[in-house]
């Protein structure tokens, strides 16, 4: 059974919180994305209000070579962003296991947050190593998973730590589950899904899962090209582009933009995951921008997820203009496809 924070006793406890601060950096290596720092604030506030609690944050950051320190991927670079989002003093801990963590917890002052070093510097994280999970858990009394976006991964810090600590779902993780369940199973009609990006093998299960409850599914991006090339057959609900703005099919064309936009205007529920083209290069950003404009021009309930869609939304300054932004890319895809995520299963089966 999934345990919520309200079911836990955190008074006087040392609490390990798994977050996802794997954020984008800009061209001069400054933090470019702030959404992920803010979505966990409610959980951190609640835990911080528990008398005598001591909180340490654990995340991955970037793609360092496993088991090798890389200054470019050190979470020390995130200290200011965490402090700005939480309003707390943040102490960087240059390891995530062992005596260094234990000493930091012993020295921690009320109101401070510890930010542990990148868990991907540890060999065995991505393989779900049991010994690493034991080492991560050892200094702590309780584990809280507040990283829905990594719940589809069988990593030591996600699915194995709950074997060794009483474990709870954070507020945001529960909110993501509830919102995506509602959106997939009980949308207000007309319900429109917009699916783009790459890797058709990851998007097909989502398209199939949404077909029974959605009125129309608009497909763009690389997956539309793959569907056309592979002659994949869909139901009449699934609509592919009718033209492109370049021979390479790097973006949907003007007729498709008009066609899709007309359908979007009728929607009461919209789910969007993935861009309509190679949006990071001009002029192939036109289709994605036009579809975003059409979405924002409706009064529909809008749920957006996926790293690229999130980047488009943030670049447009439109984060506050949609109903719900999921932190999950792959996790959102799998969850909305009806798959129970390993990280959620681990919480349900956690040590009591």
pLDDT tens for 103-152 read 999 999 999 999 999 999 999 999 999 999 999 999 999 999 999 999 99
Q: Give pTM, 2 decimals.
A: 0.92
Of the candidates 301, 300, 305, 275, the residue with the CA atom closest to the CA atom of residue 39: 305
Q: How confident is the model at residue 35 (pLDDT cuts 50, 70, 90)?
A: confident
Considering Cα of 23, then 119, then 44, then 93, what sign does the dihedral take? negative
Give the pLDDT confidence score for residue 257 in this predicted structure. Answer: 97
pLDDT score of 26 more than 80: no
Cβ neighbours for 319, distance < 8 A, ≥ 6 positions apart: 35, 313, 325
> Residue 220 and residue 14: Cα distance in Å, rounded?
47
pLDDT tens digits for 181-214?
Answer: 999 999 999 999 999 998 889 899 999 999 999 9
In terms of Cβ atoms closer than 10 Å to its own Cβ (0-12, 13-18, 19+), residue 269 is buried
DSSP bridge pairs for 15: 55, 142
Give the pLDDT confidence score for residue 67 in this predicted structure. Answer: 82
Of the candidates 18, 28, 12, 29, the residue with the CA atom closest to the CA atom of residue 74: 29
Q: How confident is the model at residue 311 (pLDDT cuts 50, 70, 90)?
A: confident
């Amino acid at each position: 059974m999934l345990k919520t924070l309200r079911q836990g006793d955190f008074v006087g406890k040392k609490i390990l919180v798994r977050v996802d601060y794997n954020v984008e950096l800009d061209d001069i290596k400054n933090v470019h994305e702030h959404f992920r720092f803010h979505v966990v604030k409610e959980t951190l506030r609640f835990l911080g209000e528990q008398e005598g609690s001591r909180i340490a944050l654990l995340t991955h950051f970037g793609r360092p070579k496993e088991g090798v320190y890389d200054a470019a991927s050190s979470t020390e670079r995130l200290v200011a962003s965490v402090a700005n989002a939480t309003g707390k003093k943040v102490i960087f801990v240059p390891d995530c296991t062992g005596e260094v963590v234990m000493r930091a917890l012993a020295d921690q002052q009320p109101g401070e947050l510890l930010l542990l070093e990148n868990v991907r510097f540890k060999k065995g994280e991505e393989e779900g190593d049991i010994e690493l999970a034991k080492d991560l858990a050892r200094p702590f009394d309780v584990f809280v998973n507040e990283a829905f976006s990594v719940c589809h991964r069988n990593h030591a810090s996600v699915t194995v730590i709950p074997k060794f600590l009483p474990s709870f779902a954070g507020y945001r993780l529960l909110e993501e589950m509830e919102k995506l369940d509602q959106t997939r199973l009980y949308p207000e009609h007309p319900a429109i899904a917009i699916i783009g990006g790459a890797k058709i093998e990851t998007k097909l299960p989502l398209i199939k899962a949404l077909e029974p409850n959605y009125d129309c599914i608009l497909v763009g991006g690389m997956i539309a090209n793959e569907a056309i090339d592979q002659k994949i057959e869909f139901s009449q609900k699934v609509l592919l582009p009718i033209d492109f703005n370049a021979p390479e099919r790097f973006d949907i064309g003007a007729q498709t933009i008009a066609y899709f936009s007309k359908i979007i205007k009728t929607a009461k529920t919209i789910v969007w995951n993935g861009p309509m083209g190679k949006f990071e290069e001009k002029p192939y950003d036109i289709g994605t921008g036009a579809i975003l404009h059409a979405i924002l021009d409706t009064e529909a309930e809008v749920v957006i997820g996926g790293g690229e869609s999130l980047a488009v939304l943030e670049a447009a300054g439109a984060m506050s203009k949609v109903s719900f932004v999921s932190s999950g890319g792959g996790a959102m895809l799998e969850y909305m496809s009806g798959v129970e995520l390993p990280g959620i299963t681990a919480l349900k089966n956690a040590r009591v």
